Amino acid sequence: MKKAKIFKPSKTAMQSGLAKTSKWVIEYITDETGINPLMGWESSTDTMSELKLEFSSKDKAVEYAKKNKIEFEIIEEKKRKTVKKSYSDNFTK
């Protein structure tokens, strides 16, 4: 069976909110990529690379991978640092 990674997606640079970042995702790792000669895009003949499964928790994703004998790697999520700012701080310092 192919190897997969289990991770929690981070928000994109184009988002200000945290939509689509609460679920854990299993995504298969593909080593067989190549350049499409017509368009020049990176492509693959492996259809498993297109599959992304979403789970509500990391435990459920790991359980699914073990049940289906999928070799996996867990990429832990990084905690965001938020600094509380106030508009008045621009004038008081």
Residue indicated by tokens 């990674």: 5
Determine the pLDDT at residue 39: 87
pLDDT per position as a tens digit, 11-65 = 877 877 777 788 999 999 887 788 888 888 888 778 888 889 999 999 999 999 9
Determine the pLDDT at residue 67: 95
Other beta carbons less than 10 A from residue 28's beta carbon: 19
- Give burial (CB, 10 Å; 0-12/13-18/19+) of 39: exposed
For the record, the structure tokens of 35 come out as 């350049």
pLDDT band at 93 (very low <50, low <70, confident <90, very high): low
Residues 6+ apart with CB under 8 A from 8: 21, 22, 23, 24, 25, 58, 77
Determine the pLDDT at residue 5: 95
**Helical segments of 1-93, H only:** 58-67, 89-92
Ordered structural domains, the chain, with CATH: 3-12+19-92 (3.30.160)
Radius of gyration in angstroms for the set of CA atoms belonging to the chain, rounded to a whole number: 19
pLDDT band at 1 (very low <50, low <70, confident <90, very high): low
Q: What is the reported pTM?
A: 0.72
